[in-house]
Structure 1
């Protein structure tokens, strides 16, 4: 009987303690589950954010590479090659190719600028961001200058040509430099190697520069070994050389 009383006296307080502590135990377990779920969710969110940011950085770089590092230099090369064109139709085609490439370059650069301002932290405390901001304004100014082209023979044509040529050359050179600074910023941000992409871009720009310097000398090089008929080559005099404008007009008209 006494044993029964001891068991009852021990069981009742124990039951009371368990009933009191049960909500706290349950709440602690639920809190632990919620914390683990929240931590897992944060890790997934951070991983997704980093992956998305990395993709946007690559896309931004590709847009500006295509714009400043390819289309714009190719457009300048095309208009440079038009100086040796001997046909009005060919000259007109090359001009429209130049204008189309520069317009496409402008659109791609604008898309890259919008992406940069929308998704990236732009404190403008480094060379790449400052140069990029300058280029975004300069490329639009160059486009406006191009659309305001005076007619050939007008009074302001020479001034316009000099400004358009100087601005286009400066924008192209700064754009190429900014591609290199962008690659350096990508390496600094992600710690990934950029040697392969630097070599590819350097080879591409070197090839375009070689064509730019070489193309206008090609006809001259070919004519060095040409002798008309069986007569020896006679030195030319000033009277035999017609003005460049007259030669260019006659060659275009003959075509």
Structure 2
């Protein structure tokens, strides 16, 4: 059984950029800031491509939700080896309030429409660190899920998964269709070659809207304020343990 795979691709501020909060504290500065494919989603795309190269997958569909600029992210996924892409068009104002529950509903509906066998997502996005989308998507579809995946092996009608947990590694088996969220050590994503980047420009990107999919993206939460963490105060030196204990007592730490 060759799988039809749906891969989530979020456009995020590049990991190397220093984040700045807007003066009005309504969010972070995004205008004129370098963006890229979320690193965990890049790992998800790479795993899907490797499964296709191993003849375990028949088609890879990349999905991104957001404004027109999200198509840049989809072109990266297409250059890595995805077959086609779906851009769920959401204007910038609505996108600033888009939450994991909205994305989960969109992915679940696309999975049903496209007759998907496997959804692969990054375990989290590096902008909000929510780590919610994969779990909620699995719940929406009532599919098995495997989170924090560091190894995947396809078996008849199921996947053997090694996942990272606090105590080490856990091996589980999930029946297909399923939802995976991938961790850092699953693979090393490939660089898109120039010929593949050129080919990606000719691959199709289908545009949809949340309304087309019957998904309401009205915000469920309200962001009151976004603030930078407090500046860390400088430490002080002590000459011996007694002085250290005295300082700690003064500060109410012991």
TM beyond 0.5: no
* Larger proportion of strand: 2
TM-score, normalised relative to structure 2: 0.25
TM-score, normalised relative to structure 1: 0.25
* Larger proportion of helix: 1
